[in-house]
Amino acid sequence: MAHAAAPPDAAPAVATHESPAGTLGVYTQKLGMWVFLTSEVMFFTALIGSYIILRWGSATEWPDPTKSLAIGITALNTFILICSSVSMVKAYAAAVHDDQSGLKRWLLTTVVAGATFVGIQFVEYRNLLHEGFTPSSGLFGSTFYAMTGFHGFHVTCGVIAMAYVTLRAFRGKYAGGKYEGIETIGLYWHFVDLVWIILFTIVYLI
Amino acid sequence: MAAAAHKHPNYVLIWFYLAVLTGAELVVALLKVLPRNWLVTALIFLAIWKAMLVALYFMHLKFEPRRLVVTIIAPLPLAVILVLAVLREYAK
């Protein structure tokens, strides 16, 4: 046993380090986030699955989303979300290398990009509602607002959580290579981006 | 040291792939030159490709222990079964 030979004054094993026993080889926060994300997979599958089934079984002609929705502004929003994923992963890399100014800069970029996404979605909703396209506008309306609404809610939660993490970063809480918190919130953020990639295709393009 | 858990992939290159694939999706969806079935297949293929890039490189699944990856992938077949099983109700 290697641990038995450790001197009594050796630093105690920190729970956040890789490969403690019984956590599938990753630290506890990361495992917890992944377990949560797999349940989120089933949540969004229920929404997307319902959409596919309702659309497939629809007795009336389904409207062409590329004509009835604003594809240009949504494509721009998709691009913004992808960019925010890159800035998030850059923040993670900065945290790993203990580059504090890089960490703050990239986290801030991610928060701003995420907030921009929510803002653009808000404008999109306002325009659509103004045109008379509401959650009561048939199956297309209700499924559209249910799916994009729940996704937007996830992004909003992500922005709030990310703002909190950024605040902590400015207080130096992730100094000294403590990257675990950044990686864990990053997993959530990338997942929200991943869901949008699927939603954008299914709701807006097909 | 835990910080050196794995090498960093070229994140900017992944971003470039994602941007190009998004552009390809828009071309396929808006030009509508493909027959409907092929168009849907192509768009779903592109979306899964992009989702895989995000999961493998941004979420680091490519670098995680296999037992974690298996745990995460396990519900995906269930998700597909859920949709296919209910879809049968509408099979024409």
The SS3 of residue A49 is helix
Minimum Cα–Cα distance from A39: chain B residue: B75
Q: What is the pLDDT of residue B59?
A: 94
Summarize pLDDT for A18-30 with one digit per residue, the tens: 555 667 788 999 9
Q: What angle do CA A111, A44, B43 make, to 5 degrees?
A: 90
> With 80 as the cut, is the pLDDT of residue A205 above it?
yes
Q: What is the pLDDT of residue A21?
A: 60
Contact A201 B19 (CB under 8 A): no
pLDDT > 70 in chain B, percent? 90
Out of B3, B71, B74, the one facing A177 most closely (by C-beta) is: B3
Cβ neighbours of B54 in A, within 8 Å: 85, 190, 193-194, 197
> With 90 as the cut, is the pLDDT of residue A68 above it?
no
Q: Which fold has domain A46-205?
A: Four Helix Bundle (Hemerythrin (Met), subunit A) (1.20.120)
Task: Return the DSSP state at A61.
Answer: P
Minimum Cα–Cα distance from A24: chain B residue: B68
The mean per-residue pLDDT over the stretch A40-65 comes to 88
- Own/partner contacts of B16-25, CB < 8 Å, gap of 24 or more, are B17/B53, B18/A82, B18/B50, B18/B53, B18/B54, B19/A79, B19/A82, B21/B46, B21/B49, B21/B50, B21/B53, B22/A75, B22/A78, B22/A79, B22/A82, B22/B50, B25/A200, B25/A201, B25/A205
**Is the ipTM here above 0.90?**
no
Q: Using 50, 70 and 90 to split pLDDT, how confident is the model at B81?
A: confident
Average pLDDT, chain B: 87
Residue in B65, B79, B21, B45 with CA at minimum distance from that of residue A82: B21
Q: What is the pLDDT of residue A20?
A: 57
> With 60 as the cut, is the pLDDT of residue A9 above it?
no
Q: Counting one residue from A and one from B, how many pairs have CB atoms under 8 Å apart?
A: 132
> With 80 as the cut, is the pLDDT of residue A90 above it?
yes
Cβ neighbours of A38 in B, within 8 Å: 71-72, 74-75
Structure tokens at A69: 């929705």
pLDDT > 70 in chain A, percent? 89
Summarize pLDDT for B4-45 with one digit per residue, the tens: 456 788 999 999 999 999 999 999 999 988 998 899 999 999
Q: What angle do CA A34, A39, A43 make, to 5 degrees?
A: 140
Q: What is the pLDDT of residue A19?
A: 55
> With 80 as the cut, is the pLDDT of residue A1 above it?
no
In angstroms, what separates the C-alpha of A28 from chain B's closest C-alpha? 12
The mean per-residue pLDDT over the stretch B85-90 comes to 76
The mean per-residue pLDDT over the stretch A40-49 comes to 91
Cβ(B6)–Cβ(B63) below 8 Å:
yes
